[in-house]
């Protein structure tokens, strides 16, 4: 049974560019959450998707957007990249009414 | 808003030592509480959880008890191993639903042989 998978593993972008990160949830899970983890910090909640809609959002600007597909996979898009967007981006999946979230290995984004 | 505070690291212990990592929280209502572990270069793994007051979560020799009166969820292990070296995160879930997790800043643990 495959767990949560994310792609790509690493990414280097330039300020002002746009980036798309991808996540496939654990088999049977229908809810996907995204977190940003800056170096040496705990993860910060970006947003959560359920039934292809954004269900809750953290304190992140509109430059951060997402999408969930009918197969429950998800994308995180970040526009107009800033140096401060450099971080590990984690995807977590769960069942809709469960508190247990399963995390993927993350995508390391470096903005230069 | 909800928040989690962990003891600052790094923490360095010898193998077979007793481990305590303190965690306290601020939340409205009664959130579920979690400990996650992050090994180098990997994502987070759920270590243990507790969903109501006085519950004890346990896994792989680690334990933590949900203490409502002290708003704490301290992580303990009686005898640590080198393989326990990792970063440990305390977290709570938003009681308003949608399962948003609020994390502490993490505590880096190093176990020396």
8 Å CB contact of B101 and A90: no
Q: Using one digit for the tens of pLDDT, what is the confidence trace for A52-62?
A: 999 889 999 99
Chain A nearest C-alpha distance from B32 (Å): 8
**A-to-B residue pairs, Cβ atoms closer than 8 angstroms:** 61
Contacts of B41 in chain A (CB under 8 A): 105
Q: Using one digit for the tens of pLDDT, what is the confidence trace for B66-109?
A: 999 999 999 999 999 999 999 999 999 876 555 789 999 999 99
The whole-angstrom separation of Cα A18 and Cα A63 is: 9
The whole-angstrom separation of Cα A76 and Cα A66 is: 4
Q: Which residues, listed in sequence order, are joined to residue B65 by a DSSP beta bridge?
A: B56
Q: Please tell me the predicted confidence (pLDDT) of residue B96.
A: 58
């Amino acid at each position: 049974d495959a767990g949560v998978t994310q792609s790509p593993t690493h990414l280097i972008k330039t300020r002002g560019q746009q980036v798309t990160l991808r996540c496939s949830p654990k088999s049977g899970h229908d809810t996907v959450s995204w977190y940003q983890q800056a170096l040496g910090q705990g993860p910060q909640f970006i947003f959560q998707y359920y039934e292809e809609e954004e269900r809750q959002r953290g304190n992140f600007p509109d430059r951060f957007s997402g999408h969930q597909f009918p197969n429950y996979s998800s994308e995180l898009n970040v526009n107009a990249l800033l140096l401060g967007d450099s971080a590990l981006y984690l995807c977590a999946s769960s069942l809709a009414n469960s508190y247990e979230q399963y995390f993927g290995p993350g995508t390391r984004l470096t903005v230069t | 808003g909800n928040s989690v505070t962990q003891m600052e690291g790094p923490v360095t212990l010898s193998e077979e030592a007793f481990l305590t990592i303190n965690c306290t929280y601020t939340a409205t209502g009664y959130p579920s509480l979690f400990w996650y572990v992050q090994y180098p270069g990997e994502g987070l793994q759920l270590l243990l959880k507790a969903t109501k007051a006085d519950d004890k979560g346990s896994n792989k020799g680690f334990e933590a008890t949900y203490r409502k009166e002290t708003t704490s969820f301290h992580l303990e292990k009686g005898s640590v191993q080198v393989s326990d070296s990792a970063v440990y995160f305390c977290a709570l879930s938003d009681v308003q639903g949608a399962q948003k997790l609020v994390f502490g800043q993490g505590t880096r643990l190093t176990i020396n042989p």
